[in-house]
Structure 1
Amino acid sequence: MAFTMRQPFRLTSTLGYVSKSAFKSTPIRAFHHSRPAANFFTSRANTPISTLAKARNAFRQSRTYIQQTSSPTATAGNLGQKLLIGGAMFGGTLIALNVIFNRETREDGGMPPYERSYLNDTFMHTGLGVGIIGLSARAMFQSGFTYRLMATNPWIVMIGGLALSVGTMMGTRATDPSNYIQKYGLWSAFNVTQGALLAPLLFMAPPALIARAGLYTVAMMGSISFIGATAKQEKYLYLGGPLLAGVAIVAVSGFAPLVLPATAVRTLAFTENIWLYGGLAVFGGFTLYDVQKILYHARMAERGVIRKDAVNESISLELDFLNIFIRMVQILMMQQNRRK
């Protein structure tokens, strides 16, 4: 199972200081002290100070008006350019991944109806779970509930949230699918706890950046899921062992800032890259593995070996989504900070 319960949020207090006075008050020069050749300026020395101040304020207001009218156009252009670049990037990624990893397609001529239905039910529950996580995180952020909890003791909140998350996840997996009320109640509680762990991220990233990260995550997981669904049966199930080893390395690199001294700058930068980009690769591989595992479970459920349980299958994909999404947000924040 994917390493999913770690949410390394570092709430940093980085406030920008802006100067309060754009124009400092300076004494006004008297133009009658200038050279005799510029006598036509001499009449402006008799102009009252209030008139000069009014003219200067009028100029500032006109300049502010011009900037405000031109800024939405520039913002819209930048947004459209970013969306175009993002769509082209992920479209190229989908084609490249399909060519490299999907050369051997299914031998049965396509996906059977039972497997297709099982996979669609799992994706539907995954989307519902991600929606519950997003709505609960936004509600906790807007109400200030997360801020008050983090202000009391962040470690207790994180440890308690992880304990609740693990407990509700294990309870959901252990509940029989026929017990709908308990099953969906524990599943909803699990999603709410994930939203509580994700809510502090909203304090650090602007909404536009979070929306972009969500779009990139959906595109990445969608392309990988397409490959896993159309590839040869059980082709990528062997990735379970190597992925567990990779996620262990990613987890250790995430705890490196707690162990290494602050002077080891290069080592900390190296471990951070492992946690970010290595984590993207690992959880992208887990997405591929989980999709093929879902199809394998569908074949077993069709033969009556196991019970059909789309809720349990969706938990793995939800956790893959969260881990990829968090890393996408951090990468976009790093790129935004470099531009400043």
Structure 2
Amino acid sequence: MAFFLRRPFAVSSALRQAPKLSNTARFIHNSPLKPTQATKPQPGASSVFNKSRQTFQNAFRRTYMQQTFNTQSGSMGQKLMYGAAIVGGTVVATNFIFNRETREDGGMPDYERSFLNETFMHTGLGLGIIAIAARALHTTGWSYRLMAMNPWAVLGVGLVGSIGSMYGTFYTSPDNYVMKYGCWTLFNLTQAALLSPLMFYNPALLARAGIYTVGLMGSIAFVGATAKQEKYLYLGGPLLAGVVLVAISGLAPMVLPATAARSLMWSERIWLYGGLAVFGGFTLYDVQKVLHHARLAQRGLIKRDVVNESVSLELDFINIFVRMVQILGMRNNNRK
């Protein structure tokens, strides 16, 4: 049930960002447009139609992001040092606050370490498939077609595709490798199709959001892996209630009128910052759940299935990454 409630977030977030895309990307064509062609209105065509047609044409052209050079921004080495200091400080702070009671069994056994490493490997592989497929779909114009569709239709089809492929992965035995990895690949491709509109953003912004997400999830995963056994498994119930609240706030712009500015503002804050807290907690919970399943598999109570465990961490990463992109995009817009 928790996975069913987590899925709609990336869909609505990508669709809600459609009006802001023009602020973050520049389109440069092979031959510049003449001033008379750019300003001359076409007879018999409305401004809405012209705007839609231009957006559609730009979606099929190659995009180049032009980054201005700031002489006062410092060298690349300084930026890397600052980023490393932030990530390292986050790891130390989270470990000090949340991990005062460490494991009492002498450290992580080899079978738990192996299970966790294979889970992280499949998580990284799945996220790589999503990134490559999303980029490929974006270059073919799928992003524009997705945003031009009815949001409710996209939400319904996205839920069916995502949940169907996800539960197909869950309920396929790990002994059936072909069917198992086929459903898992289909799940990743479904996520790529829904996340492809994010490719309209500046690649530098997406890279920063990815680095921040890796740092956040890495620090939380470190805490979960070194904490006392089953210390954070009780978070499942409270996190489920939190994800329901975040889901409702994410769907609020589709229901509330545009005049309810204050309600929309608070729903957006709950969606962004409440979602970061909830899915950060889910990362902590899922890492401890992976170790718990490793112990059960060692005793022969369940089958060893790292693919199922990786799906949970992929969903955590996607939901945190989408919110990081949204926060950084809003920050860049406020600077202009």
- Short-chain TM bin: 0.7 to 0.9
The one-letter code matched in structure 2 to 1:5 is R
CA–CA separation in structure 2 for the residues paired with 1:242 and 1:293: 15
What displacement does 1:252 show? 1.1
Over the aligned positions, Cα root-mean-square deviation in angstroms equals 2.2
What stretches of structure 1 of length at least 5 have no aligned partner? Answer: 22-70
What does 1:1-340 correspond to in 2, within 5 Å?
A: 1-2=2-3, 3-6=5-8, 7-8=11-12, 9=14, 10=16, 11-12=18-19, 15=22, 72=69, 74=71, 77=74, 82-151=79-148, 153-203=150-200, 205-340=201-336
SS in 2 for 1:316: helix
The one-letter code matched in structure 1 to 2:182 is G
SS in 2 for 1:235: coil
Q: 8 Å contact 1:286–1:320 — kept in the other structure?
A: yes
CA–CA separation in structure 2 for the residues paired with 1:310 and 1:141: 30
CA–CA separation in structure 1 for the residues paired with 2:167 and 2:188: 13
What displacement does 1:259 show? 2.4
Q: 8 Å contact 1:141–1:202 — kept in the other structure?
A: yes
The TM-score with structure 1 as length reference comes to 0.80
Larger Rg: 1
Q: 8 Å contact 1:158–1:197 — kept in the other structure?
A: no
CA–CA separation in structure 2 for the residues paired with 1:273 and 1:83: 29
What displacement does 1:92 show? 1.6
SS in 2 for 1:141: helix
Q: Which residue of 1 aligns with 2:44?
A: none
What displacement does 1:75 show? 8.6
- How many residue pairs get aligned? The number is 288
Larger mean CA deviation between 79-88 and 162-171 belongs to: 79-88
The one-letter code matched in structure 1 to 2:129 is I
Q: Which residue of 1 aligns with 2:60?
A: none
CA–CA separation in structure 2 for the residues paired with 1:234 and 1:166: 28
- Percent identity between matched residues is 64
The one-letter code matched in structure 1 to 2:325 is V
Larger mean CA deviation between 165-174 and 150-159 belongs to: 150-159
The TM-score with structure 2 as length reference comes to 0.80
What stretches of structure 2 of length at least 5 have no aligned partner? Answer: 27-33, 36-67
CA–CA separation in structure 2 for the residues paired with 1:169 and 1:158: 16
Q: Which residue of 2 aligns with 1:31?
A: none
Larger mean CA deviation between 261-270 and 74-83 belongs to: 74-83
What displacement does 1:145 show? 2.7
CA shift in 2, pair 1:243/1:14, >3 Å: closer
